[in-house]
Structure 1
Amino acid sequence: MNGWETWLTRQRDTRERLGLQRTLRPRGAHDDVIDLAGNDYLGLSKHPAVRSAAAEAAQTWGAGAGASRLVTGTTDLHGELEAELADYLGWPAALVFSTGYHANLAVVAALAERARVISDAHVHASLVDAARLARAEVTVTDHNDVAAVEAALASCASPEGAGGCGACGDGGCAGKPTRFERVVILVESIYSVLGDEAPLAELVRLAEQYDAMLVVDEAHGLGVRGDGRGLVHAAGFAGHPNVVVAATLSKSLGSQGGSVLGSPALIDHLVNRARPFIFDTGLAPAATAGALAALRILRDNPDLPASVTERVRGLADLLDVPAPAGALLSVPMTSPQEAVAAQAACLEAGVRVGCFRPPSVPDGISRLRITASAGVSDEDWSRAVKLLLEVIR
């Protein structure tokens, strides 16, 4: 065994000892397990219209886009999806990416290159990686701490001779003008681990005051909050000049891919400067058409999110845990080992749930992750709730 194999073996042994080892477990297309672990919040992934649209697109355009969007990978389908997403969510323009991860990477890397980033401690890993890709100077603030965000913004705006930008932490730039012409604030509308929502009104006020750009990841808000158009729209900030929205197509829309919504100038900048967009193959036609069909179903059925809210709040009451702002319910466990054991017991009983363990959880507390999906029948939902209560209690 060479040095690398020895190192890899030790890494695995450490993960095993701490209860942090993860394993891929392929599932069949037609297993009889009730799925409360995925992100298909509205059950649209298997909707007949979505399946049909995806199949027809694959027959028409082929299995893949064939190239990056700037070469030949942009199809009429991409244009339709971008136009309808922008119209539905209340933005002037939209740009579609191959994944939600790429959407977050692209928008932050293109806006925050060598700039200042103020990031909530609980943002998704894709936003963390995006700030690194941008080579930005990053300040991480405590979760949903508006005062900390304001203090970080004020430090960026410090006038010459008043203590510098504050980014160096020790006053090393005191007496110098601010080094940051641009500041980007990173948050999620609804956080996937704790299930709480961002204080958008206060953050937008700060973005206006300091002329910062607030990037909001709506991955868990789209299709769940308000009439389905997400928390930013419900709060009245769609189209705001100091706000940019990133959203995924793989959760409520049941497909794959991601999108960024903002001004035409922003989209033009991303097309020309965002490396995760420029050098990536375009979203596959089947996924594009599937997301478009799902979007139209959501648009025509604004009552769909209410069923998710009803289910997640009812289950939270039964389990005596706080009700989340979105579709994901977190049930704290005392250790990673207990979380894994509870997940296995649920699966043995016929219900698939998720499991959060370090380092995936920002506060270090392992949890079961339960998705309240509108795609599960009433009968299966009732059976799943009964089984969950038996296992967790």
Structure 2
Amino acid sequence: MDSEFKSISHPFSSTIEIGETEYLYFGGTAYLGIPRNAEFIDLYIEGIKKFGLNNGTSRTNNIQLGIYDDAEKVAAKRFNAEDALITSSGYLAAQLTVKALSGFENVIYAPATHPALWLENQPFNAKSFTEWEIKTIELINNSTDQSWVLISNSMNNLFPEIYDFGFLENIYPSKKITLIVDDSHGIGINNNGMGAFNNLPKKENIECVVVASMAKALGLDAGLVLGSKEMIKKLKNTSTFIGASPPAAAGLYAFINAEKIYANEWYKLQENIKLFSSKLNINSKFVPGFPAFYINNISLAEKLLKHRILISSFPYPNVNDAPINRIVLSSWHMDSVILKLLVAIE
């Protein structure tokens, strides 16, 4: 891809202008179009006027903005968790959680787990999630060790697949399992927008924790952890949480007040997914309700570029590998734009 596409100087939307040329854009992770949503931007500006541009103090400072506690209560309720913790980034939320909970336990990583969850570099795991399930059940049940930490994404957003953690029901009740799930791509989209937490196993021997970047569907430069009250209290007592500055309060003000905006944009996105999937006439892999479509055609991005259409295309898993091509929809796409894409594909 030409270098001009790597020095864009304006916000992404359904179109991108480079020089005097306009391209249709079907990539990125702004699934709900929040970065260009006028109502959300108005809320953010309102939040800036109320709370200023940023807050560089620790959450344990003796003088606090109350909106951080308010936003955590809203997030817990909105995503059906007992409690929540909010940090300045998804990476920080993931690292804080993994480092605090891994300790001296046995740690098992699922295939393609995001690097934000790594304690150290992980070798590429080519197993399927189903293969990993079977091996994990066998390993834990046949071991004399009682405590285990399992770390996984909630889904594979590259070759779209939502993971089912019901297999944990087959692990012996005597085993203590801590399940850490990264729901960065699912939260706000999957499960009617509620994300993964509500669908994780509910057993006495399984402690479930969800970490997520809020920078994708939710449109905030912040990170989120969902869990039990006891778990969140434990994580808030870590030196990482104590020492880190929180995200901008203005963004959290917008998040708190944007429930209807999120719901409206989610509905628009679902309509876009239905339109595109119903008329797409080439083989693709996608999950109903999730806006990424994997197309097994290494030349697709080049062909669409001739029609002034940009899609997500990059080598995976290594920089010298063939590119994977995905079409990513957003709520900001109009029907007419989606139909233009379909014509160009055909």
Confirm or deny a common fold (TM above 0.5).
yes
Q: Report % sequence identity.
A: 19
Q: Report the Cα distance in structure 2 between the residues aligned to 1:58 and 1:207, rounded to whole angstroms.
A: 51
CA gap of 1:304–1:132, structure 2 versus 1, over 3 A, is same
Runs of 5+ consecutive residues of structure 1 not aligned to the other structure = 1-18, 159-177
**136, 143, 147: which one aligns with 2:128:** 143
Report what 1:107 is aligned to: 97
Give the superposition deviation at 1:305.
5.5
Q: Residue 312 of structure 2: SS of its match in structure 1?
A: strand
Q: Report the Cα distance in structure 1 between the residues aligned to 2:174 and 2:163, rounded to whole angstroms.
A: 18
Report what 2:40 is aligned to: 50
Report what 1:28 is aligned to: 10
Larger Rg: 1
Q: How many residues align?
A: 332
* TM-score under structure 2 length normalisation: 0.83
Deviates more, 1:146-155 or 1:201-210: 201-210
Report what 2:28 is aligned to: 38
Report what 1:297 is aligned to: 261
CA gap of 1:208–1:217, structure 2 versus 1, over 3 A, is farther
Q: Residue 267 of structure 1: SS of its match in structure 2?
A: helix
Residue correspondence of structure 1 range 31-110 to structure 2 within 5 A:
31=17, 32-71=22-61, 75-110=65-100
* TM-score under structure 1 length normalisation: 0.74
- Point out the structure with the larger strand share: 2
Displacement over 6 Å in runs of 4+: 137-141
CA gap of 1:329–1:285, structure 2 versus 1, over 3 A, is same
**328, 333, 336: which one aligns with 2:292:** 328
Q: Residue 185 of structure 1: SS of its match in structure 2?
A: strand
Give the superposition deviation at 1:297.
2.8
Give the superposition deviation at 1:149.
1.3
Task: Look up the equivalent residue of 2:98 and give its one-letter code.
Answer: V
Give the superposition deviation at 1:79.
1.9
- Point out the structure with the larger helix share: 1
Give the superposition deviation at 1:259.
0.3
Q: Report the Cα distance in structure 1 between the residues aligned to 2:257 and 2:24, rounded to whole angstroms.
A: 25
Q: Residue 230 of structure 1: SS of its match in structure 2?
A: coil
Q: Report the Cα distance in structure 2 between the residues aligned to 1:346 and 1:74, rounded to whole angstroms.
A: 51
1:197 and 2:184 equivalent? no
2:222 touches 2:247 (CA, 8 Å); kept in 1? Answer: yes
**176, 185, 189: which one aligns with 1:224:** 189
Task: Look up the equivalent residue of 1:319 and give its one-letter code.
Answer: I
Task: Look up the equivalent residue of 1:96 and give its one-letter code.
Answer: I
Q: Report the Cα distance in structure 1 between the residues aligned to 2:343 and 2:255, rounded to whole angstroms.
A: 33
Q: Report the Cα distance in structure 2 between the residues aligned to 1:297 and 1:223, rounded to whole angstroms.
A: 11
Runs of 5+ consecutive residues of structure 2 not aligned to the other structure = none
Q: Report the Cα distance in structure 2 between the residues aligned to 1:187 and 1:220, rounded to whole angstroms.
A: 13
**117, 132, 139: which one aligns with 2:120:** 132
